[in-house]
Amino acid sequence: MRGIHSVIAAERSKTVKHLTASLLFCLASANALADVTALVVTEPSNRKDAMMVSRDALQAHLSRVLKEPVVVTSTDDMTDAMRATRSGGYDIFIAPPQVAASALGHGYALVGATDTDEQYLLVGRSELASVGALRGKAIYLPQQDSIYTYLARGLLNANGLSFKDMKHVDYERYPQAGLYALMLGHSEATMVRSADWESWDRDHGGIAKVLAISSAVPGGYSVAVRKKLPSEARGKLARWFETDATTCGLKPVVAHPDLQPYTRVAELGSFTPKALPGATVVDHETVKTLVSNGAVLVDTRIESEYKDKHIPGALWLPYGEKSLKDVAFDAKADNFPGLARLDRDRNIVFQCNGPECWKSYKASRAAIAAGYKHIYWFRGGMPEWELAGERTEKTGATLALSN
């Protein structure tokens, strides 16, 4: 009897192993067949267009076009949207031009835009003689990563100013409120679309004037799709956006053959400086050499980005960023407890999501301020690493230092 029981137990063990293997295979297959994802990003000032777009209808139509499930998400958080373009968080972006511009630099192709190009105006109180007179004054802007803020930074830089030269940079939510903040004396300047300015100035003439005008940028929504999608799928999506998008409340998407406006916007978004006193700026080849010789590579991005993909062997020490994306940022507003875990005698390389990401720059600055002497800044970060064809890993985050 003991022998029979042993045989039964052995057979049960084989059956369990077989079922376990089958289950793991099914789970792997399900992950491999992940849904196509799309993100609709709306500037707070564009709420009218946003209210016209039906997320459910868009989801149903895109699923029908591609003959596979498409999950559509919407947001008006520009910072999260910009982060998603750098990390490849979605297959399709339906978004303002600065978000599309960032996506185009991170593995996406442009389908087109829903509106013609438009200009934005840097407007100041009527007593100000020029942009230069804004030094030491307050400016009202919506969200750090809004198109208004991008263009304001560019116009200030063109006139020899930075946000650090301002008395206050008030980041609020709705651009039109900036004109009323200016009228009430709460701010001396703001950014507005040219069309919004014309109607406001007619009703409130003499209160403010135009100090500078931006170059033209694509209006409305721009659509960008991931280049890694099959060419047939990208073709179907382009045709649908150009011909049938109105069924979901979107305006027709018209091809935008000139990529220069997007390039200009993207350049305005690449705010991190190219040099950092006290640190050595390095490329991906130097990073590989440093790590092979015992340097610790620190990934300062958020947890979900690290878990999705990271450089092999990278240590996850997130930089909690609340300060301005500016060389004059207030480090006291940020949080970087992981710095204390790093060995002062080792070479340390900081990285995040490339030139548009400030976390690794700020982490490097924090390390320098704390007296660390062997600091390297991988400014190109994940985008440069992947563009070079280097391998990435997808694992759980770990805060433990390797020996």
Identify the band that residue 32 occupies on the pLDDT scale cut at 50, 70 and 90: very low
The pLDDT of residue 269 is: 55
The pLDDT of residue 324 is: 77
Triad 223, 71, 83: Cα angle to 5°: 55
Q: Characterize 25-45 residue by residue with b for buried, 16 or more Cβ atoms within 10 angstroms of its Cβ, and e for exposed.
A: eeeeeeeeeeebbbbbbbbbb
Beta bridge partners of 320: 335
Q: Which CATH architecture fits 36-115+219-269?
A: 3-Layer(aba) Sandwich (3.40)
| 0.75 surpassed by pTM | no
Q: Which CATH superfamily is 120-213 part of? A: Periplasmic binding protein-like II (3.40.190.10)
Q: Which CATH architecture fits 280-387?
A: 3-Layer(aba) Sandwich (3.40)
CATH 3.40.190.10 boundaries in the chain: 36-115+219-269, 120-213
Average pLDDT, the chain: 86
Using CA atoms, how far residue 66 sits from 61, 70, 233, 248, in Å, is 9, 8, 6, 16
As a whole-number percent, the residues of the chain with pLDDT over 70 amount to 87
pLDDT for residue 25 is more than 90: no
The pLDDT of residue 16 is: 42
DSSP 134: G
What DSSP string runs through 213-246? EPPPEEEEEEEEEETTS-HHHHHHHHHHHHHTGG
Burial class from Cβ neighbours inside 10 Å (0-12, 13-18, 19+) for residue 396 reads exposed
Per-residue pLDDT reduced to its tens digit, 313-362: 999 999 999 887 777 788 999 999 999 999 999 999 999 998 878 999 99
d(CA 180, CA 186) in angstroms, rounded, equals 9
Q: What is the mean pLDDT of residues 256-275?
A: 79
Q: What is the mean pLDDT of residues 116-142?
A: 94
CATH 3.40.250.10 boundaries in the chain: 280-387
d(CA 261, CA 233) in angstroms, rounded, equals 26
DSSP 207: S
pLDDT for residue 136 is more than 90: yes
Q: What is the mean pLDDT of residues 280-306?
A: 96
Using CA atoms, how far residue 235 sits from 65, 226, 320, 391, in Å, is 10, 12, 40, 29
pLDDT for residue 9 is more than 60: no
Beta bridge partners of 141: 171
pLDDT for residue 292 is more than 80: yes
The pLDDT of residue 209 is: 96
Per-residue pLDDT reduced to its tens digit, 213-238: 998 899 999 999 999 999 999 999 99
